Structure 1
Amino acid sequence: MSVTFRAAVNGPLRLRDFRLLLAGAAAAQFGAHVTLVALPLVAVLVLDASAFQVGLLTAAETAAFLLIGLPAGAWVDRVRKVPLMIRADVVRAAAMASVPVAGAAGVLTMAQLYAVAFVTGIATVFFDVAHQSYLPHLLPRDQLVKGNGALETVRSSAQVTGPGLGGGLVQLLGAHPAVAANTAGYALSALCLWRIGRTEPRPEPAPGASLRADIGEGLRFVLGHPLLRVIAAATGLGNFLTAVLMATQTVFLVRDLGLAPGAVGLALSAAAVGGLVGALTAGTLAARWGQARIIWLSPLVTGPFAVLWPLSERAGGAPLFALGSGVVFFGAVVYNVAQVSFRQVLCPPRLLGRMNATLRFLMWGTLPLGALAGGVLADGFGARAALLCCAAGFLAVPLPLLFSALRGMRDLPAPSDEVHAAAPDTDTAGAAVTAAEPDAQTGTDRRDRTASLG
């Protein structure tokens, strides 16, 4: 039994509502990673899409983070998180269900795929911001790393099995029927969330508050904190380059390396294997090397392996591509567990939605730009050239972190104990009451309380 899994069993997994949150995440992630392979293969194999069209499809999936990321965070802070996540899952399930229906009727087009990707992306923005903002209400501060590690383990496990199964389903059933797996995943996620028993207090906006003022408060909190600024810069660059990879890897594997759909799924699963190992070892590595140190050390050590992607066309083929993906995404998941846990501890509860949405806007807003860039590069110069540019960019990802205060720190600064309410250690039918900071959700006595670097 791994150290991370054993720690989770002794901590967050004792909570029934966390187990339901984890099960919902597993269902949604499993379906999503089947579709990660299936949807581009629908475009390439069924609709004969160009490299630019595949890049545009990837951009449509992530454009919402750039377009509505900031107002979404302010809105999430005003509503209960679980009902919002359930509605987002229902929208995503309905949108994805339209693909196999249209495919069976023979009327599927690229325009519909773009629309499905865009609508799903909008729902995902609201779901993800609410999901990250809800976890600190469910777990005590000292168990957030364990909770995030468990969620990353689930996500990485889905990444391991999802792409391989997606490629196999495409090969056996055809491309568009495989997308139905995502519909089932989102529906099961909604069901798990619906069974969560703990009811959040309804957030009360401060007197005279406006959406614009709320957005501004979130921006000031993030941009005013030196560590959050460099984390946003490094992650934004990493996500831009990841989107270049996502937009070009299917075209490269199918048309340059000549892989069948099942082999494409297996090649893409290698990234998830690395991510799963990263999720299982993130807590141990952070304890050994320090949570601050691991934030910059993980991309510094693993980023150079991205050069194996363009090299795989001439030496080693798919195994070399898979090795590069496995190592790079191992580092990415270790980095994510450390920095997401830090963000959740640092932020006052009333600002969690806006903080997460602001960072998603800064970090994930680069995804559609990277996808478009990858499509343009692959269309004009070939998929291998796009991957070469992508690999060179990964070498620069740790630079903002190395030129910050993080480089001289072992562990991240601890905020005041006032920042977070204590969550209950046990869950009996989900009716436990938060022990501290009763004003965190009601909006009363709202003095600004932000953590400093000390």
Structure 2
Amino acid sequence: MIAADLIRGAALVVTGCLVALDQISVWVLAALAFFLGSARVLFDCAATALLPCLVPSERLVTVNGHLTSGQLIGRDLIGQAIGGILYTTARAAPLLTDAATFLLSAAAIHRLPTIRSAIPQLGLAASIRDGLRHLRTDRTIRQLTTASAILNLAYTGQAAILVTFAHTTLHMSPSEYGFALAVGGAGGIAVGLPIGRGAEHRNRTTLLTSVALLGLAQLSIAAAPGPILLAVACLLCSAATALWNIASTALRQTVIPIELLGRTTGITRLLSWGIAPAGALTAGAFASTWGPRTTLVVIGAISLATFTMLAARLPTFPNATQTPKSEPALPARDASTKQPASPCPSRTRSRTL
């Protein structure tokens, strides 16, 4: 995680210096996008695998909700506002300031206890094989990954044509469209901050509720006659998306063995997000023929069909308050009895993550 932050910080420093020297090019921007994207995947997979070792299982939903809200507040609200202000002072200022935030993040992670696992470390190829094998054999994670791929396909399609729908169908001004997006962004924050034990005890219900709400919100976007109702529909859509992300992440952290969590998370992200660009392309092509409103109706129907699939196929699984499969509950033993090694063992104060 520290390495991922340092990579992103270094890439932003180099790009910021090139911008200041007026030496920027499309190839530099492409390289920046590659390093930022690759390092983010590395960081997110490691963070997902680390969290169950730092947080009690009964608090996974709550902590994931707080993390989601923090990301939305920092990235979508405060970050964008500060970035716009900094850009007016100097073009390189947003990049260099962002680089400083990654250095601060690395310093904060440096203070976390190191998790030294007793599980033998495997090579890259073996790790990928193990992750694929677990994905193939675990019905819950397989259904969750399939649903994530379909929902990402629909959501990116919605995002791709929303601006066209607002301007050409609803005839909204740029300020009205910006208002709708700003209101929509508050939905994820509103869901993430108060979420707690109720959701942890009903994780399956939370997942199904989020998908149903997403489909209904997308249909509401299609039916919106103006900016006010569009803003409300975007708010519901953002809330449903955040609720899905929080509950699905907590579920993975609960049912996937700790030693497989990082590699399985990477594979599920590849499968669920790799299909996302196809959603934007398909929605754009469909909207050019049938119009954006009809396309949004189809997108909402796809999400509701995903809800039906999950309701029928997603098995009943342990909630977040139960012990994960990788850490089975052990009976009380005498202090002299040697305990087996845990995938999330001792937390030392050494400084390597």
Same fold (TM over 0.5): yes
Distance 1:305 1:123 in 2: 32
TM-score by length of 2: 0.77
Shift of residue 327, structure 1, vs aligned partner: 0.7
Q: 1:188 to 1:387 in 2, by over 3 A?
A: farther
**Which SS does the other structure have where 1:397 is aligned?**
helix
Distance 1:407 1:275 in 2: 27
Query: Of the candidates 320, 331, 343, which is equivalent to residue 440 of structure 1?
Result: 343
Q: 1:438 to 1:287 in 2, by over 3 A?
A: closer
Specify the alignment match of 1:161 in structure 2: 77
Query: Is 1:222–2:127 an aligned residue pair?
Result: no
Q: Which amino acid aligns with 1:357?
A: G
Distance 2:325 2:137 in 1: 20
Q: 1:109 to 1:115 in 2, by over 3 A?
A: same
Query: Is 1:201–2:116 an aligned residue pair?
Result: yes
Q: Which amino acid aligns with 1:212?
A: A
Specify the alignment match of 2:326 in structure 1: 419
After superposition, residues 260-271 of structure 1 pair within 5 angstroms as 267-271=180-184
After superposition, residues 232-247 of structure 1 pair within 5 angstroms as 232-247=145-160
Q: 1:171 to 1:210 in 2, by over 3 A?
A: closer
Shift of residue 128, structure 1, vs aligned partner: 0.6
Shift of residue 323, structure 1, vs aligned partner: 2.5
Query: Of the candidates 295, 299, 312, which is equivalent to residue 393 of structure 1?
Result: 299
Q: Contact 1:272/1:329 (CA < 8 Å) preserved in 2?
A: yes
Q: Contact 1:230/1:400 (CA < 8 Å) preserved in 2?
A: no
After superposition, residues 339-358 of structure 1 pair within 5 angstroms as 339-358=248-267
1:15-62 Cα distance to aligned partner (Å, 9 max, x none): xxxxxxxxxxxxxxxxxxxxxxxxxxxxxxxxxxxxxxxxxxxxxxxx
Query: Of the candidates 203, 207, 226, which is equivalent to residue 316 of structure 1?
Result: 226
Q: 1:202 to 1:413 in 2, by over 3 A?
A: closer
Q: 1:170 to 1:385 in 2, by over 3 A?
A: farther
Shift of residue 386, structure 1, vs aligned partner: 5.8
Shift of residue 123, structure 1, vs aligned partner: 0.6
Query: Is 1:298–2:201 an aligned residue pair?
Result: no
Query: Of the candidates 234, 252, 261, which is equivalent to residue 325 of structure 1?
Result: 234
Q: Contact 2:140/2:317 (CA < 8 Å) preserved in 1?
A: no
Q: Contact 1:231/1:401 (CA < 8 Å) preserved in 2?
A: no
Q: Which amino acid aligns with 2:114?
A: T
Question: Gapped runs of 5+ residues in structure 1?
Answer: 1-84, 423-434, 443-454
Specify the alignment match of 1:213 in structure 2: 126
Shift of residue 95, structure 1, vs aligned partner: 2.0
Shift of residue 120, structure 1, vs aligned partner: 0.7
Q: 1:251 to 1:348 in 2, by over 3 A?
A: same
Distance 2:172 2:26 in 1: 24
Q: 1:236 to 1:181 in 2, by over 3 A?
A: farther
Distance 2:22 2:167 in 1: 24
Q: Contact 2:87/2:94 (CA < 8 Å) preserved in 1?
A: no
1:310-347 Cα distance to aligned partner (Å, 9 max, x none): 666xx424x44432221111011112222211111112
Q: 1:404 to 1:436 in 2, by over 3 A?
A: farther
**Cα RMSD for the two superposed structures:** 3.7
Query: Is 1:113–2:29 an aligned residue pair?
Result: yes
Q: Contact 1:295/1:339 (CA < 8 Å) preserved in 2?
A: yes
Distance 1:251 1:203 in 2: 53
Tell me how many residue pairs correspond in the alignment.
333
TM-score by length of 1: 0.62
Distance 1:205 1:117 in 2: 33
Distance 1:353 1:98 in 2: 30
Distance 2:65 2:150 in 1: 23
Identity of aligned residues (%): 24
Shift of residue 276, structure 1, vs aligned partner: 1.0
Q: Which amino acid aligns with 1:123?
A: A
Specify the alignment match of 2:332 in structure 1: none
Distance 1:392 1:183 in 2: 41
Shift of residue 113, structure 1, vs aligned partner: 2.2
Q: Which amino acid aligns with 1:298?
A: S
Shift of residue 108, structure 1, vs aligned partner: 2.9
Distance 1:408 1:232 in 2: 11
Q: Contact 2:117/2:342 (CA < 8 Å) preserved in 1?
A: no
Shift of residue 283, structure 1, vs aligned partner: 2.7
Question: Gapped runs of 5+ residues in structure 2?
Answer: 330-337, 346-353
**Which SS does the other structure have where 1:106 is aligned?**
coil
Deviation larger for 265-274 or 224-233 = 265-274
Distance 1:125 1:232 in 2: 16
Q: 1:226 to 1:202 in 2, by over 3 A?
A: closer
1:233-285 Cα distance to aligned partner (Å, 9 max, x none): 1111222233334555678779974526xx77654333331001111343365
Q: Which amino acid aligns with 1:316?
A: G
Q: Which amino acid aligns with 2:212?
A: L
Distance 2:293 2:99 in 1: 31
Q: Contact 2:180/2:230 (CA < 8 Å) preserved in 1?
A: yes
Deviation larger for 265-274 or 214-223 = 265-274
Shift of residue 405, structure 1, vs aligned partner: 5.8
